Structure 1
Amino acid sequence: MPSNVFRMSMQVVAAICFLFIVLIFVNRDVSSLAYVFQTDQIQSFKTIFISILLEAIPFILLGVLLSSLLQTFVSEQAIRRFIPKNPILGILFACLLGILFPMCECGMIPVVRRLILKGMPVYIAVVFIIAGPIINPIVFAATFMAFRNHPAIAYSRMGLAFAAAVIIGLLLYRFVQSNPLRNSRVNGEGHHHHHHHHGSFSSKVNSFFLHASDEFFEMGKYLVFGSLLTALIQIFMQRESLLAIGQGPISSHLFMIGFAYILSLCSTSDAFVASSFQTSFTSGSLLTFLVFGPMLDFKSTLMLLSVFKTKFVLILSVLIVITVLTCSLLFEHLF
């Protein structure tokens, strides 16, 4: 429990710093912030905040239930049996594994740690961690619903995530040879005590509901926080300032990388936050947000650091930033 409080408080501090820096850059006159407290601004804030929450919650609930079902009733051995021995096929398989096992990254990281200890190659495991939260049917449906007026975003998100994950997987296969795990014991997997219960059916059902409720409140907490910060940014920042950042060829992508990292949203709900920026930001920068966030955010960084060595997490983080940014810029240029 203390680690949860620490994680959340650190995220709040980081988000306040992020928002403060943005406001310093875009607001020349601090007194102009007084307009935020006007009635119509408060009404806009409530509308944005509540609409994001209401649209996203059904998808979070569906994702959590399916994640808990797989976590409780499907063993790591069952997943490992399907993995091809060929590196290229292994990477492609790991990219598509989320279609069969649509779990959020919170559930994946502890499971993947056990898979590595049982012999799964690191590059395949990492590809599963970064691609699984995006390339799955629940996330596709959520993105499609969020961008009903621009469905190409949903397809592009899947394609971009697939391309980025394959590139990162190949680079890890080529350059990372040593064992990156922090230790070799199958314990200490963080606050999500995900394990398979080999007891009776009733104990598995109990485990399922326990896991689902824990995961729902964990994800819900980040969704509320993300919706709140999104609504604040939309009413704090003047329209012209938001457009200036959002239409910038590089600034829009960098802003969205920072925004996605701080928010730490679940991939089943982040599309509803992104869609609220449709009129201000370019499609390419929205894709950066939608692909980068599930691959690397504040929450997953802490979880990765609890499992992998710091040097490996730094290498992986740099790879994700460069690959996603490059792929998004190429996509924007080509399409």
Structure 2
Amino acid sequence: MTATEAAPTRTEDRPAEEPPSQGQGGQFSSPLVVTVLLIVAIGLQGPVRRALSAPVMQSWMTVFVAVVVQALPFLVLGVLLSAAIAVFVPPAFFARALPDRPALAVPAAAMAGVVLPGCECASVPVAGALVRRGVAPAAALAFLLSAPAINPIVLTATAVAFPNDPRMVLARFGASLLVACAMGWLWQRLGRADWLRPPARPSSEGLGKGAAFWGSVRHDVMHAGGFLVVGAMAAATLKAVVPASWLHAASVNPVVSVLALAVLAVLLSICSEADAFVASSLTQFSLTARLAFLVVGPMIDLKLFAMQAGTFGRAFALRFAPVTFAVAVLTSVLVGAVLL
């Protein structure tokens, strides 16, 4: 009995020795990969230096660094302020401050966007909280569209980005406010309750104020900062790589230039606190086309479509996004013709 019991014990112990050997192999491979990468980097040091010293790359890096350095302080300040307001100001405050009549609540909510100095990433959850607290959806949607575009941080960044064109600040404020009110009134008249899914509770509920604040800051910095880098890279590529004849061909035709920058705003998904610096670098295009870029971007882009679909439902986003794009482009053209 003793021999038969000892045999299975030895057979059971053998497989247990395999994981350490596999783990040692994994540990051995990691330094090996790092070493190989370092050797490759050292071997390609000369070609990399020659590539970075090329005039095209020098121009690319100059535009990229300029856009990021100019926009980063506004991005950080906006993220901190938006997190503080989203966490420490109760959503019920906005519900009490708005008029009872939806037709009057829409412009009031649109103007209330001034008090949320943050990007569009912050406006979506705040708008969802307003709807959950009983605010009319039309008013909450007007707030959602106006807050990222008419708050003091964004307008100040626009003034810094366009020092020689102060009318751009007024044009952006007026066009964004008109679009927000128009979309709110359109939803009040044509929107249906089954198109708008009641927003779920935010994940930060149940956390302390400090944890919710820093969680909001981390979320906005990761998202907005990443989109800022992508937008700066795209702007630098347009300036340094795309042939000037292509940009000139798109910018000569007024209709094509407006549509091109409006579509570009949707694709780039730049934070509203940084998009003015990207728009100011697109000097080939008219001020009206760049105004369309600044009005469309904070209201509908790829990341906003995903956030709106996640908060209010896909049926809402599929109807709301195309109409918002069309109204924003048309309003930008009209305001640009008057002010720019």
- Name 1:289's counterpart in structure 2: 293
- Name 1:320's counterpart in structure 2: 324
Q: Deviations over 1:246-285 (max 9, x none)?
A: 23121111111111111111111000000001x2001111
1:180 Cα deviation after fit? 3.1
- Name 2:4's counterpart in structure 1: none
User: Would the aligned equivalents of 1:111 and 1:194 in 2 still touch at CA under 8 Å?
Assistant: no
Q: Deviations over 1:43-84 (max 9, x none)?
A: 100000000000000000110010111122111112211111
Letter in 2 for 1:333: A
Q: Does 1:113 align with 2:128?
A: yes
- Name 1:155's counterpart in structure 2: 170
Q: Deviations over 1:197-243 (max 9, x none)?
A: 5xxxxx42343233213311221111001101111121221112212
Q: Does 1:299 align with 2:303?
A: yes
User: Would the aligned equivalents of 1:91 and 1:127 in 2 still touch at CA under 8 Å?
Assistant: yes
User: Would the aligned equivalents of 1:110 and 1:194 in 2 still touch at CA under 8 Å?
Assistant: no
Does the C-alpha gap of structure 1 residues 180 and 250 become closer, same or farther in structure 2, counting only changes over 3 Å? same
Aligned pairs for 1:62-77 (under 5 A) are 62-77=77-92
User: Would the aligned equivalents of 2:231 and 2:270 in 1 still touch at CA under 8 Å?
Assistant: yes
Bigger Rg over Cα: 2
1:104 Cα deviation after fit? 2.2
Q: Does 1:135 align with 2:150?
A: yes
Q: Deviations over 1:74-99 (max 9, x none)?
A: 11112211111122321111111121
Bigger relative contact order, structure 1 or 2 (CA pairs below 8 A, ≥6 apart)? 1
CA-based RMSD of the aligned residues comes to 1.9
Letter in 1 for 2:62: T
2:106 to 87, 91, 96: 91
User: Would the aligned equivalents of 2:128 and 2:199 in 1 still touch at CA under 8 Å?
Assistant: no
Q: Which runs of 5+ in 2 are unaligned?
A: 1-50
User: Would the aligned equivalents of 1:262 and 1:297 in 2 still touch at CA under 8 Å?
Assistant: yes
Aligned pairs for 1:252-271 (under 5 A) are 252-271=257-276
- Name 1:7's counterpart in structure 2: none
User: Would the aligned equivalents of 2:56 and 2:241 in 1 still touch at CA under 8 Å?
Assistant: no
| Partners of 1:251 and 1:108 in 2: CA distance | 30
Does the C-alpha gap of structure 1 residues 114 and 334 become closer, same or farther in structure 2, counting only changes over 3 Å? closer
Letter in 1 for 2:232: S
1:179 Cα deviation after fit? 4.1
1:194 Cα deviation after fit? 4.2
State TM-score, norm by structure 2: 0.80
Letter in 2 for 1:306: G
1:115 Cα deviation after fit? 2.0
User: Would the aligned equivalents of 2:102 and 2:136 in 1 still touch at CA under 8 Å?
Assistant: no
| Partners of 1:311 and 1:56 in 2: CA distance | 34
Does the C-alpha gap of structure 1 residues 157 and 196 become closer, same or farther in structure 2, counting only changes over 3 Å? farther
Letter in 2 for 1:186: A
| Partners of 2:205 and 2:284 in 1: CA distance | 43
1:164 Cα deviation after fit? 1.3
2:244 to 225, 230, 239: 239
**Identity percentage over the alignment?**
32
Q: Which runs of 5+ in 1 are unaligned?
A: 1-35, 198-202
1:212 to 194, 217, 220: 217
| Partners of 2:269 and 2:241 in 1: CA distance | 21
